[in-house]
A and B are shown apart, each in its own frame.
Chain A
């Protein structure tokens, strides 16, 4: 089983987000980055499938030089090799533009499966996997909670709304977008970190690729959301806040 895992690098959770001078994207100067969490779950699922069935796990990640740290992490956890699609300006791009770059590289890989997280924690498009499936001509399923290989097909458990689930059988090759929590995440071992240094990372420059699409949406401006603020914000030292809150809940909201 050859499995590609498409991962994204995103700003560390709870980063202080500052908008750049033009209001078009983040000021990236003092941000730190990490692997998008749903993609970490996709990687985990891929590694466990490989442990069960044998084969190869290949990680692909698009972005500037800094994403090599995320690629190293994936290799340290057990991916066999990686492809870095080098591109400087992907930050605010639409999902189709970035996915088309990935597809242009992946069409030569002929995997059995492509796994990716169901959405990214930064832009939250939730589209990359589905677009890849369409561009590569593969079947797909989204919001996947379980994967059961069955020869030339796989049976996956999809999460639906309101506590419903559904099993779906798909022919291979297929793209799956993985829901967080599908398996328990592993940590990279010291041994894994050492080994990662010897694994192959192929670099492809986005400018050498010819994706079959042009950008069709533009993020014109980013800003802090306007506050509707009917919220009463309580501040002060913790004891004082607690006292005010209990008073409000008892005598104003009358819920205590």
Chain B
């Protein structure tokens, strides 16, 4: 039988007339990574805050590491590490002081707290900056310090709320490998993101939420096949070839090709041979291309595929804004 490190049922939460969560179920087996994918305002942060005992749901239940977040919050807190969407480091303290303070609050001795701080700073490449005040850090450094802060107590369940938003690609890769390392060590991770690519790279399972509801839950593979696989993008060298390219892509694609920019053609494709077939067909027709790529669908495309409507529904959006 699977034991779930995180188990939430029917969570609802409203702020005035905004229904941030309208009944959400989340389950994460021990030692696995759940990616929670959703656009701005979907309710990701609200869900994380409830699971981190920072917010009480209006209804529903949640257990973390076997402890009910409502009735045994103290026990739940002992198991969790939280990296919120916005860095919560103390700017008037140095990197070292931030981490040592948390270590001390977690009842490490002064010596152990310093050792743990040094270890984490090393791991997050902040050793040189460790003695500087956090207010002098760049956004990326602050995020990394915040991540380090959430790991001081070796939590068994870690929440990462959009951990790579605002990081450059190299630092994003570092965060990804840090997540993989955590999971290799047996930690359960719940990660929110706006990028399918990120969820695909890290998560064992993905829950897609929108307007406070789960609209899909699957493995990355299953979700991608639901979405019709990847998107093929072609940019012909000569803009005059655009109609030809559009016609060719219509043959390989699963939907009508679109034009993301005026010299590009994009189409969702299924199957492993789409790229090879396209290259062959382009060669036959003698079309030269400057760009040919296969990418995962963007969040817009995910939403289009799952709900048949554009991501930001103006009616619902304005309803949220009035609250």
A and B from one complex? no
